[in-house]
Chains A and B, each alone.
Chain A
Amino acid sequence: MTFSRRNFLKAGFLSSAVFIMNGCSLFGVTTPLQTLSLLHKDLFPYAQELGIQTAPYMQIIFHQSRISDADKTFLKNGVKWLNEAGIKKYKQEYIKLSSKQREALLERVTQTEWGDSFVYDVMNYMFEAMLGDPVYGGNNKEAGWQWLDFEGGQPRPQKAYM
């Protein structure tokens, strides 16, 4: 009997290079963190107004053994596709577009199957950061809960899970 362990994605995943292609040629390089940080701001800027930083939580997600490699890879691919969609439409990566262009691009990609799934997944983890227990580093001073008049459950976790 063998106990094969999964090869979990290594520590540098969030800051590792994502190669953005324009057709067959290399257009540029970004990192998942750069794009996801901006995407979080575009999708729910109010989190920042509440003093909640959601992007660092993605580091936990990419290290979470309970999230499958396939899901992590999909997020990374989504970053690549979103930037490539920006190049196709505006000749620039998502992270270099104006806010109006990014909004228009999001409108466009969320009409596609991959875009809808990708943005939904990004929001899912973003709201985990914003509305999960503060022990995970987001939801600063329970600001997300207070905004929604949410009391949380007792007892609260003493430490983040895994």
Chain B
Amino acid sequence: MVDVCIIGSGAGASPIAYELANAGFSVVVLEKGQNYTEKDFNKDEIAVTRRDMFTPPLWEQKHIINEYKADGTFTRYDGEKSDWSFWNGSMVGGSSNLMSGYFHRLKPNDFQLKSVYGAIKGANVVDWPISYEELEPYYDKVEKVVGVSGKIVKHKHLEPRSSADLPYPELQTNGAVQWFDRTCKALGYEAIPTPRAILSQNALGRDGCYYSNFCGSYGCASGAKGSGRAALLQKCSAKIITDAFVYRLESDDKKVTRAYYYTKNGIRHSVQAKIFVVAAQAIETSRLLLNSKNRYFPNGLANSSGEVGKNLIFSAGGSGSGRFVFEQLTPQQQKELMEVGVFFNRSLQDWYAYEKEKKQYKGGTIDFLFEHQNIISRVMREVYDENGNLLWGENLKEKLHKRLTTSRVLTFEVFNDWLPTDKCFVGVDEKVKDKYGVPVGVINLYGHPHDLEVGEHLAQKAVKVLEKLGCEEISYSISSAPPPNLVAGGCRFGNDAKTSVLDKNCKAHDLENLYVSDASFMPTGGSVPYTWSIYANSFRVADILKKELQKDEV
């Protein structure tokens, strides 16, 4: 029997493996996907982003998706038939290998959304059982151990910090960033260098960023990107078992006793441990618990509250873009604009909280970045004319050359709270099974109208920046479409065992040795990408587990 068995190996899992293995405890990590190292990663657009080599094919593993309307009716989609994937990165280190690493902390008010902003009709907003102050030391730890680069500048929504600045200097940026900074200043906005989980120099036994020109969606070949694999798992003695799909946890009435997993060839194995930690990414974590029902927990493991799978959240908001065209720029500016590899790295948080018509709103974050360099995708976005007719031949040739060599698109992403509701939750479909013969997860989706209102407010601010910058073809889309890589909730933590799955330590209320450490614990998600908070909370849970295991030793 090992001390700790962790299911999953991404941002929620790797800090626990790292901390406990380095403290001398025996740790086994069960990962469904394969292991890759820096040597395995390349920038093959066809394999990585067009054939999705790091996620399971949908005909082998899929989800059922129910898209709800406000009146409670829904449309059912079969993930395979509708080509709708919620997989993010089935590999050691999980989707943290493929993230862009836009790292923002939550802010103190994110921990007490209900107390500060009040209840919202139709939404299940609650305060967190911990405060920002309790998580702050772990945000700080992530900066130093995983590695966060950038520069802290004071602004009205800057959260309290125990370290004055980030430990690694800013990554190099494109010359157009200066235009952006000047523009924001003229508008009275506070442009912030975006903190990135990317090392800007050799450190922590890893190589610094080499400006590969392809970052988000791709694995990092230098180890600069702070994936759970590069930053943590490769630096500890935790035993990682790949090709291990955990399909059931066995328990008695008090403890989880065994994790069962299948290999891709259908061979069944199991692991016994003193403590089990589930971190399979939010949807799959709830699915595993629901699929692990037994005589003691007939509605799913740790589900006496009926809350497992409930209050699934994503990041609300959307994205937009504008195009810099050579005709509006000096030759020097044209040259600066087309410099590739270096980053844009600017964010706005001026409206993280705002007032509109005498009402206080929780707002969000806007990140600015250049359009991804993927050339095939950029070309395919140009094959229609303005009337929606396909182009080909000489017309297409001329358009492609002009668009791709004399203009560049600046995009923005809006992050605001996806309010938890009764209509957004995870279930399982007993009749639809994956290639392992295990019931697939059902993702029930609903976006609260309030999310759209806030997203719209933020997008309009971003549009003002693009307009002032002189961009053309400015457009944006704020919608309830869920970003599959920004998912949380389903096992919210709280002090009341009747209304939450986990206690404040992320231990299941119902069981003595079951913890959940991915983003499932989050009752509300804040208005930033989740990864930094997942890492920080996982380091926090690691400290709790260390104390538990040390108690055991005594």
B422 to chain A, nearest CB (A): 34
Residue of B nearest to A70 (CB): B81
> For chain B residues 193-247, which have a beta carbon within 8 Å of chain A?
210, 212-214, 218, 221
B484 within 8 A of A: no
Q: Which residues of B contact A3 (CB under 8 A)?
A: 265-266, 435
Which of B161-169, B395-403, B515-523 has 4 or more CB atoms under 8 Å from chain A? B395-403
Which of B305-313, B375-383, B474-482 has 4 or more CB atoms under 8 Å from chain A? B375-383
A51 to chain B, nearest CB (A): 15
B47 x A157 contact (CB < 8 A): yes
- Secondary structure type dominating chain A contacts: loop
11 A-B pairs (CB sep. < 8 Å)? A43-B392, A119-B390, A124-B376, A148-B404, A150-B404, A154-B43, A157-B42, A157-B43, A157-B44, A158-B42, A161-B46
Q: Which residues of B contact A46 (CB under 8 A)?
A: 397
B306 to chain A, nearest CB (A): 29
A68 x B375 contact (CB < 8 A): no
Against B, the Cβ 8 Å flags (1 = close, 0 = not) of A131-147 are 11101100000000101
Residue of A nearest to B388 (CB): A116
Contacts from B to A (Cβ < 8 Å): 41-47, 50-53, 57, 59, 210, 212-214, 218, 221, 262, 265-266, 338, 340-341, 373, 375-376, 379-380, 383, 389-390, 392-393, 396-397, 400-401, 404-405, 435-437
B266 x A1 contact (CB < 8 A): yes
Given contacts A148-B379, A154-B43, A157-B47, 10 further A-B contacts (CB under 8 A): A44-B393, A68-B59, A133-B44, A148-B405, A149-B405, A150-B375, A153-B373, A154-B212, A157-B44, A161-B46
User: Known: A120-B390, A128-B50, A132-B46. Contact between A153 and B218, CB under 8 A?
Assistant: yes
Q: Which residues of A contact B435 (CB under 8 A)?
A: 3-4
Residue of B nearest to A155 (CB): B42
Q: Which residues of A contact B401 (CB under 8 A)?
A: 147-148
Residue of A nearest to B341 (CB): A151
A66 within 8 A of B: yes
Q: Which of A6, A64, A148, A158 is the one whose CB lies under 8 Å from B375?
A: A148
The distance in angstroms between the C-alpha atoms of A132 and B51, with both chains bound, is 12
Contacts from A to B (Cβ < 8 Å): 1-4, 6, 42-46, 64-68, 103, 106, 110-111, 116, 119-120, 123-124, 127-128, 131-133, 135-136, 145, 147-158, 161-162
Q: Which of A66, A103, A106, A153 is the one whose CB lies under 8 Å from B52?
A: A66
A123 x B392 contact (CB < 8 A): yes
Q: Which residues of B contact A123 (CB under 8 A)?
A: 380, 383, 390, 392
B375 x A44 contact (CB < 8 A): no
Q: Which residues of B contact A65 (CB under 8 A)?
A: 57
Q: Which residues of B contact A44 (CB under 8 A)?
A: 392-393, 396-397
The distance in angstroms between the C-alpha atoms of A68 and B405, with both chains bound, is 34
Residue of A nearest to B51 (CB): A66
Q: Which residues of A contact B437 (CB under 8 A)?
A: 1-2
B51 x A64 contact (CB < 8 A): yes
- Secondary structure type dominating chain B contacts: loop
Q: Which residues of A contact B213 (CB under 8 A)?
A: 151-154
The distance in angstroms between the C-alpha atoms of A73 and B263, with both chains bound, is 31
A133 x B393 contact (CB < 8 A): no
The 10 closest A-B pairs by CB, nearest first: A153-B43, A161-B47, A153-B214, A1-B437, A157-B44, A66-B51, A43-B392, A157-B42, A132-B46, A153-B213
The distance in angstroms between the C-alpha atoms of A40 and B415, with both chains bound, is 41
A46 to chain B, nearest CB (A): 5
B405 x A42 contact (CB < 8 A): no
A132 x B397 contact (CB < 8 A): no
Q: Which of B42, B46, B53 is the one whose CB lies under 8 Å from A136?
A: B46
B98 to chain A, nearest CB (A): 14
Q: Which residues of B contact A4 (CB under 8 A)?
A: 435
Q: Which residues of A contact B214 (CB under 8 A)?
A: 153
B375 x A106 contact (CB < 8 A): no
Q: Which residues of A contact B265 (CB under 8 A)?
A: 3
The distance in angstroms between the C-alpha atoms of A2 and B265, with both chains bound, is 10
Q: Which residues of A contact B376 (CB under 8 A)?
A: 124, 127-128, 131-132
User: Known: A145-B375, A153-B218. Contact between A133 and B45, CB under 8 A?
Assistant: yes
Q: Which residues of A contact B41 (CB under 8 A)?
A: 155
B428 to chain A, nearest CB (A): 17
Residue of A nearest to B211 (CB): A154
B174 to chain A, nearest CB (A): 14
A63 to chain B, nearest CB (A): 12
Residue of B nearest to A60 (CB): B46
User: Known: A42-B393, A154-B213. Contact between A149 and B338, CB under 8 A?
Assistant: yes
The distance in angstroms between the C-alpha atoms of A153 and B341, with both chains bound, is 9
B44 x A161 contact (CB < 8 A): yes
Q: Which residues of B contact A64 (CB under 8 A)?
A: 51
Residue of A nearest to B265 (CB): A3
Residue of A nearest to B247 (CB): A1
The distance in angstroms between the C-alpha atoms of A136 and B437, with both chains bound, is 35
Q: Which residues of A contact B340 (CB under 8 A)?
A: 151
A142 to chain B, nearest CB (A): 11
Q: Which residues of A contact B45 (CB under 8 A)?
A: 132-133, 153
B404 x A120 contact (CB < 8 A): no
Q: Which of A1, A42, A132, A155 is the one whose CB lies under 8 Å from B392?
A: A42
B266 x A148 contact (CB < 8 A): no
